[in-house]
């Protein structure tokens, strides 16, 4: 870190990220408030850093290639605004590749623009074009990557958090797996249904979405069951799972998605309270009790599914929940499918050493990748059956959907 704010909410500091000097500050204080107080703004510091950042990025672009262990690198070369406008045409947002470099271009009025999604970086203004913003990133395995990118414009009165994303696009490398739905509502051979359970443990109603495989593929006995955190995403996951079951790539599974508590933008962050055991232990325990003592028995009474063992599954904080749930209730959960787990236990509980784990994370999500890899190493040292894989991409719903059928096929093999 090159600069510190020392707890001053109006101060602006500088950190070095992947060789780039990036301005940072308290995200809940706007640049307008800093300017009104006569203080330097994040936009001003970013502009002051731009020249040196471009020089370093230009040198990297000319050198070519990534160092061992390096997955992403900011590069730069001068651009002709007229050619960039021609590439955009009538659109506001574009991305394309040249070799192993992904180029991102956005048109609009803003003081700053952040690139978010599968990769995160500030976008840089184009010289001679006040409304054009660019980012060029050398990425290892770009031809196999799927990367969703979002342009997040920030004006003088905007906060970093809470600003709606304006534009998003997805890069699909020529050798990457395809998304057959292409953003469309999936057409399922199986059935989706939504239910509301009155929970004693949570003292409130909670929605549950259930996917049942096609009737002609159901086994004579009971199905294995999988509880999915962030259950409001069940419909999206069901599209990939349904296709895999129909093709024979995954076995028939009952998928039960337990919805989150509500608005993720709420300062109370009930999702984290329910998914991270160290955040609010009582709330985590109540949610786990709801899943194991209410949702699973309810599903076993309504659908052709066994009462145990089940698989716990999730992504991001939901992955942390899936792991923690199996650590605490291995008699209920015999398998874990965890994608992009950011927070993992420091040790493997003795009772859970027969719980199989399928773990996966993206090469471009540094912290989540490291945590997921660390958990895989702890499991293997403890002799726990574990499959660990990585995809060429970031913290991306595409990869989570793509990974679930593979995880279930491995866990149930």
Q: What is the pLDDT of residue 235?
A: 95
If residue 147 lies in a helix (H) or strand (E), which one and from where to where? strand 146-154
Structure tokens at 245: 């079951």
Q: How many CB atoms lie within 10 A of CB 180?
A: 10
Residue 409, SS3 per DSSP: helix
What's the rounded Cα separation, in Å, for the pair 63 and 44? 30
Q: Where are the domains of the chain?
A: 12-172, 191-411
Render the burial of 23-61: b for 16+ CB within 10 Å, e for the rest. bbbbeebbbebbeeeebbbbbbbbeebbeebbeebeebb
If the chain, 413 residues long, is cut into consecutive pieces of 10 residues, what is the mean pLDDT of each piece?
66 87 88 92 93 95 92 94 96 95 95 89 94 96 95 66 70 88 76 97 97 92 95 96 96 97 66 94 97 98 92 98 98 98 96 96 96 98 98 96 98 95
In words, the CATH class of domain 191-411 is: alpha beta
Helix then strand then coil, % of the chain, to nearest 5 = 30, 30, 35
CA–CA separation, 38 vs 35, rounded Å?
5
Give the per-residue pLDDT at 47: 92
pTM of the full predicted structure? 0.91
Residue corresponding to tokens 């055991």: 277
Which pLDDT score is estimated for 191? 96
**Spatial contact of 128 and 79, defined as CB atoms under 8 Å apart:** no
Q: How far, in Å, CA of 52 to CA of 73, rounded?
A: 15
281-290 vs 317-328: helix crossing angle, rounded to 10 = 80
Q: How far apart are CA 338 and CA 403, in angstroms?
A: 9
């Amino acid at each position: 870190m090159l600069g510190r704010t020392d707890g001053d909410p109006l101060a602006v500091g500088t950190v070095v990220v992947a060789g780039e000097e990036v301005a940072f500050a308290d995200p809940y204080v706007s640049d307008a408030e800093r300017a009104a107080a006569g203080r330097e703004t994040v936009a001003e510091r970013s502009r002051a850093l731009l020249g040196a950042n471009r020089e370093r990025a230009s040198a990297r672009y000319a050198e070519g290639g990534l160092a061992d262990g390096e997955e992403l690198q900011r590069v730069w070369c001068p651009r002709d605004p007229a050619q960039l406008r021609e590439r955009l045409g009538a659109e506001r947002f574009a991305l394309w590749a040249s070799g192993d470099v992904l180029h991102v271009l956005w048109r609009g009025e803003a003081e700053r623009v952040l690139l978010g999604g599968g990769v995160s970086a500030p976008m840089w203004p184009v010289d001679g074009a006040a409304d054009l913003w660019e980012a060029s990133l050398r990425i290892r395995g770009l031809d196999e990557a799927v990367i969703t990118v979002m342009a997040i414009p920030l004006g003088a009165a905007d906060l970093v958090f809470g600003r709606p994303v304006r534009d998003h696009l997805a890069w699909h490398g020529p050798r990457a797996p395809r998304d057959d739905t292409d953003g469309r509502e999936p057409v399922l051979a199986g059935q989706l249904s939504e239910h509301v359970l009155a929970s004693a443990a949570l003292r409130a109603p909670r929605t549950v979405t259930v996917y049942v495989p096609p009737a002609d593929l159901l086994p004579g006995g009971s199905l294995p069951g999988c509880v999915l955190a962030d259950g409001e995403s069940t419909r999206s996951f069901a599209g990939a799972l349904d296709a895999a079951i129909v093709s024979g790539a995954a076995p028939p599974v009952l998928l039960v998605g337990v919805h989150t508590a509500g608005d993720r933008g709420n300062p109370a962050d009930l999702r984290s309270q329910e998914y991270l055991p160290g955040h609010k232990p009582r709330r985590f325990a109540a949610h786990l009790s709801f899943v194991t003592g209410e949702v699973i028995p309810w599903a076993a009474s309504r659908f052709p599914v066994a009462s145990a063992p089940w698989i716990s599954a999730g992504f991001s904080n939901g992955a942390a929940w899936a792991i923690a749930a199996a650590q605490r209730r291995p008699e209920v959960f015999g398998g874990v499918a965890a994608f992009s787990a950011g927070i993992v236990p420091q040790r493997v509980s003795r009772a859970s050493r027969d719980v199989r784990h399928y773990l996966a994370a993206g090469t471009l999500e540094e912290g989540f990748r490291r945590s997921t890899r660390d958990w895989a190493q702890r499991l293997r040292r403890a002799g726990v059956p574990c499959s660990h894989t990585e995809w060429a991409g970031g913290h991306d719903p595409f990869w989570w959907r793509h990974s679930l059928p593979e995880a279930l096929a491995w866990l149930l093999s």
